[in-house]
Each structure stands twice: as C-alpha cells, then as structure tokens.
Amino acid sequence: MSAILLRRFGQAMLLLIIVSMIGFTILHLAPGGPMSQFAAGGDMSQEDLARISEELGLNRPLPMQYAEWLWRMLAGDWGRSYRDSQPVLSIIGAHVGATLELMLSSTVLAMLIGAWVGILGAIRRYSLFDSLATIGAMIALSIPTFWFGLVVIYVFSVGLGWLPSGNRYTVGDGSLLNRIHHLIGPVIVLALVSTAVWSRYMRSSMLEVINQDYIRTARAKGLSERLILIRHAFRNALLPMITITGLHVPTLLSGALVTETIFTWPGMGRLFLDSISYRDYPVVMGILMFTAVLVLLGSLIADLLYGVADPRVARGGR
C-alpha cells in the first residue's frame, strides 16, 4: 500500500504542476491579461500602469513570472487579490467552508438515496419500481442544474414559502436550524445528478455481485437473504462505488458553481465567478489550484478506501 501511495502522490504532484502551468498561461495570455483589471476604468495613465506592472512583476517574461509564482505558492504565499489586496489564501479560507458544507451534505444524501434505490432496483429487477427508478434517473441526468435550481426556488420559495430563496443563513440568526433550513434547497439541487449516478452504478454493481458463485453458495447454506445482501453482496458491490465517489468530485464542484450562484451561496463557486467578472486573476488562480488539490485528494482517498474494503489491493493483488 505504501508503494501505491508514493506512486499516486508523485502522479498528483506532476498533475498539479501541469494544471498550474496551463492555468497560469491561459490567464496571462487572455485578452488584456492581469493588467486589464487596472486598465478597465481608463482612469490610469500609462506611467501608472507601467509602475503597477513593474511592482507586480507582470513586465517580466512569462516563464519567469510562473517560476516566481510557483515558488511563492509552495512557500505558502498565494498572492493578493487585485480588488482589496487581501491574501488569496484568506479569501479562499473564508469561502471553502460553505462549499464543503454543501458538497458533503449533498454527497451523503445522494449516497443514501442512490444506494437504497440501486439495491432495491437490483433485487426487484424489471419490476415497476425498477422501471420508475430507471426513468427517474434518466430524467435527473437530463435536467440542467440551473433550470432545476430556478424551479426549486420558484416552487418552494416563491410559491409555497417553505424554503429560503438564497444565502447561507438569515442575518441575525446563525442557529443550526436556520442554517439547515437554508441548506435544504441547494442540497436537493446539487444531489440530483449524484443520486441518479449512484443509483445506476449501484444497481449494475449489485446485479453483477448477486449472480456470483459465492452468493449462490451462501444461499445453499441456508443463510437468510438479508444476511447475504448485507454481509456478502453489499460490501463487494460497494467497491466500484468507492472509485466513482472519488471521481465524482469534479462533477460536484462544477455543480456547486452553478448552485451557489443561483442560491447566492457564499462558497467558492460564487467566488470564482465573481473573481472572473472582476478579472481578479490571483484569486482565480488560487481557486483553480485549490480545486485541483480537492479533486486529486478525492481520488487518493478513494484509492485508500478501496484498499481498506478490498485487502487484495493493499497486498498488490496477491
């Protein structure tokens, strides 16, 4: 397992460097580049723009700018925002909690509902429930996130008044119940696609497992169907789902970007869009790198959990 971790870590570092190089190049070669934030108003003279460019090191060759940025980032200095000169890490830290809260809540909800629907669909294959679950999953995968979010707001916030239309909590009331009340709408929207994915993969995985020889042997020994499903089938069917969960992090992050914008949720997705609109490139680059770390970390955790669930992986397949 240690050899696998070292290899995964080395691959992750290489991928981070590649992502940082591509992102840094695209942002600095975009029309106007980082200096467009300062030149947008047209109030600064060419002398002022030249002075700012020199102070920020933007007048140097691009490879030198990247090398200096990478060195500072590794030292813990991710730069400062062009808008308010706040450290990028502080800005990300102020918003990452809201995004993780939304992602973790939607993931737990999607896993619970999706696993239950998938298992029941596999057990009752081709039944009315299985057919309805399949149709529901296809519809959920086809619905645009932004459209579903607007429908939730229109129906449950504007029409029925059951849920808040946005924000993380009511100003002046930061209680747990108030936060949960505000969390319901965004979680439902973000968990929609994940639930559909989980249910389909869990159904396929369970169908593959329950037809194995060791399941038939367990039935021949007289074990109860519930015991067979819990002790033998479910654990083995869960192995592919661990990998899917790790690889599903990018989908959650992209869905969070749309969901946070619709519900004015103060997370990283909304911060990313605001930073792009203000051309705050240090913050955009910081979010890009932080997101890449989350994606790679999710994949690494999935590998570790896979090894725990299947000891053969930890032993190198022996």
State the Rg of the chain over Cα.
Answer: 24
pLDDT digits (tens, 9 = 90+) for 179-231: 888 889 899 998 888 888 888 888 888 888 877 777 777 778 777 777 777 77
Q: What angle do CA 95, 102, 82 make, to 5 degrees?
A: 20
* Average pLDDT of span 114-124: 87
Query: Could you tell me how many helices (H) and strands (E) the chain has, helices first?
Result: 15, 0
pLDDT digits (tens, 9 = 90+) for 70-109: 888 888 888 888 888 888 888 988 888 888 888 888 888 8
Whole-number pLDDT of residue 97: 87
* Average pLDDT of span 12-30: 85
pLDDT digits (tens, 9 = 90+) for 252-271: 777 788 888 888 888 888 88
Whole-number pLDDT of residue 35: 66
For residue 6, is pLDDT > 60?
yes
Q: What phi, psi does 170 have (nearest 5°)?
A: -80, 135
What is the share, in percent, of the chain residues with pLDDT greater than 90? 3
Whole-number pLDDT of residue 24: 86
Domains (range + CATH), the chain: 2-74 (no CATH), 94-314 (1.10.3720.10)
If you average pLDDT over every residue of the chain, what do you get?
81
More confident residue, 15 or 1: 15
Q: Are 286 and 79 in contact (CB under 8 A)?
A: yes
pLDDT digits (tens, 9 = 90+) for 131-169: 999 999 999 888 888 889 899 999 998 888 888 888 888
Q: What phi, psi does 41 have (nearest 5°)?
A: -75, -20
Whole-number pLDDT of residue 318: 47
- Residue whose tokens read 């980082």: 34
What is the share, in percent, of the chain residues with pLDDT greater than 70? 85
